[in-house]
């Protein structure tokens, strides 16, 4: 049980955490993977190499310590993380392993400060938080299991089609091997996909946004081939190593970023492969004959990298919805395509009552959000998704 004394001690260790910084979580992951190498079948090791996961975990631990007296402010973060955990099929016993290595990390990095009282306080705090996640994740698993087309754990899906959407993006149509229905999802959510890439020693799980409207029979994900920096081990394997007819394991749809019908205008903003959840939203809005204005704004490098171009033009023209794309390094004669970076100043957007959905590189979303706030959009109407470990805009 988490007591007032525990809370006081936890808060007193905040300076210790801040001084340690992400080095604390880097040490933690190295310790855990050396003693529990099987967890490398679950964690995204590419994010380990880039350091993004270490930073994200450190920020989460620091936020928990700082807000331990008022955990309601962490509700959104808990929901986001719990959804991501279910896409990895995280189970209750994984929390015991993580908790053990976290406590031992604190002990080994700060032996003088890590007294028995501090150990007891952090042990209780960790168990308290772990139970919150375990309970919420169990609710998600149970909902998936009890909903038509749902399942828990892995389910085998066959690749029944591969479609080139642009120079870097391919779509994969997934059909369950058992030919049974699949659970519906809310546009904006993602699938957890498990593969064993050629030459890899471990299973790799990645989350890819669903890029079409629900149909109860199949799913579509659209994957960008990652080529900048360290090539994406999974994205390149999906592009080159997976063929039509191959079977992969899939976890049920998840994610706390999704379209919510608030009976208001909608603005879909994306850059690069961030177009994928927006495409799912657009397809669904079109199918449902959404009765409020829809604006579809996208940014990419050039025509070669412009995914879903013809489809978007068709959907928006049929509904008389507004759509504009910005090419950063190419000039187009298409009246719906502008040159340069996305600029809202010349657009007639529903600034006072619209809901704005953002997805793309973090730098782009920070830039777009700041533009919107400067124009007077209420921050509560700006909703966003970060691919990979979460980061605040």
The vertex-154 CA angle with 149 and 157, nearest 5°, equals 65
Name, in order, each residue with C-beta under 8 angstroms of 345's C-beta and a sequence gap of 6 or more: 375
DSSP secondary structure string, 222-289? EEE---SSS--HHHHHHHHH--TT-EEEEEEEE-S------SS-EEEEEEGGGHHHHHHHHHHHHHTT
Going by C-alpha positions, the residue among 228, 101, 196, 83 that lies closest to residue 141 is 83
Q: How is residue 185 written in tokens?
A: 């999802």
Within 110-174, residue ranges assigned H as helices are 116-146
Known catalytic residues? 95, 137
Look at residues 239, 225, 268, 72 and name the one whose alpha carbon lies nearest to residue 172: 239
Which residue matches tokens 């208001």?
A: 264
Half-sphere exposure of 184 (CA within 13 A, CB side): 8
C-alpha to C-alpha distance for 174 and 193, rounded to whole angstroms: 11
Tokens 């990979």 belong to residue: 388
Residue identified by tokens 């308290």 is: 128
Judge whether 236 and 210 are in contact, CB under 8 Å.
no
Task: State how far the Cα of 287 lies from the Cα of 184, in Å rounded to an integer.
Answer: 15
Half-sphere exposure of 127 (CA within 13 A, CB side): 10
Could you count the other beta carbons within 10 Å of the beta carbon of residue 100? 16
Q: Which residues contact 300 (CB under 8 A, 6 or more apart)?
A: 271, 272, 275, 306, 307, 325, 326, 327, 328
Estimate to the nearest angstrom the gap between the alpha carbon of 320 and the chain centroid.
31
Radius of gyration of the chain (CA): 22
Helix/strand/coil for 212: coil
């Amino acid at each position: 049980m988490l007591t007032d004394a525990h809370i006081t001690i936890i808060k007193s260790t905040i300076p210790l955490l801040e001084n340690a910084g992400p080095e604390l979580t880097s040490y933690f992951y190295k310790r855990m993977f050396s003693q529990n190498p099987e967890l490398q079948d679950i964690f995204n090791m590419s994010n380990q190499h880039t350091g993004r996961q270490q930073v994200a975990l450190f920020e989460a631990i620091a936020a928990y310590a700082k807000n331990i007296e008022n955990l309601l402010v962490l509700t959104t973060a808990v929901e986001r993380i719990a959804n991501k955990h279910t896409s990895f099929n995280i189970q209750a016993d994984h929390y015991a392993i993580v908790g053990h290595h976290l406590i031992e990390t604190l002990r080994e990095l700060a032996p003088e400060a890590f007294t028995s009282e501090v150990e007891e306080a952090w042990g209780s705090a960790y168990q308290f938080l772990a139970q919150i996640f375990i309970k919420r994740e169990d609710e998600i698993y149970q909902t998936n299991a009890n909903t038509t087309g749902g399942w828990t754990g892995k389910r085998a899906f066959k690749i029944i089609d591969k479609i080139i959407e642009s120079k870097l993006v391919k779509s994969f149509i997934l059909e369950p091997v058992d030919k049974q229905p699949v659970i519906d999802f809310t546009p904006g959510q993602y699938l957890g996909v498990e593969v064993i890439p050629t030459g890899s020693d471990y299973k790799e799980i990645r989350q890819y946004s669903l890029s079409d409207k629900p149909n109860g029979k199949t799913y579509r994900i659209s994957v960008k081939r990652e080529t900048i920096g360290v090539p994406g081990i999974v994205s390149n394997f999906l592009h080159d190593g997976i063929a039509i007819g191959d079977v992969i394991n899939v976890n049920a749809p998840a994610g706390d970023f999704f379209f919510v019908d608030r009976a208001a205008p909608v603005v879909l903003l994306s850059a690069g492969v961030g177009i994928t959840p927006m495409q799912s939203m657009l397809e669904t809005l079109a199918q449902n004959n959404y009765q409020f204005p829809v604006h579809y704004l996208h940014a990419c490098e050039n025509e070669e990298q412009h995914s879903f171009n013809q489809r978007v033009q068709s959907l928006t023209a049929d509904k008389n919805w507004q759509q504009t794309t910005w090419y950063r390094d190419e000039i187009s004669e298409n009246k719906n395509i502008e040159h340069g970076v996305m600029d809202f100043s010349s657009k007639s957007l529903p600034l006072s009552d619209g809901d704005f959905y953002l997805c793309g590189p973090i730098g782009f979303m920070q830039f777009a959000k700041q533009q919107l706030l400067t124009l007077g959009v209420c921050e509560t109407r700006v909703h966003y998704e970060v691919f990979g470990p979460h980061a605040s805009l």
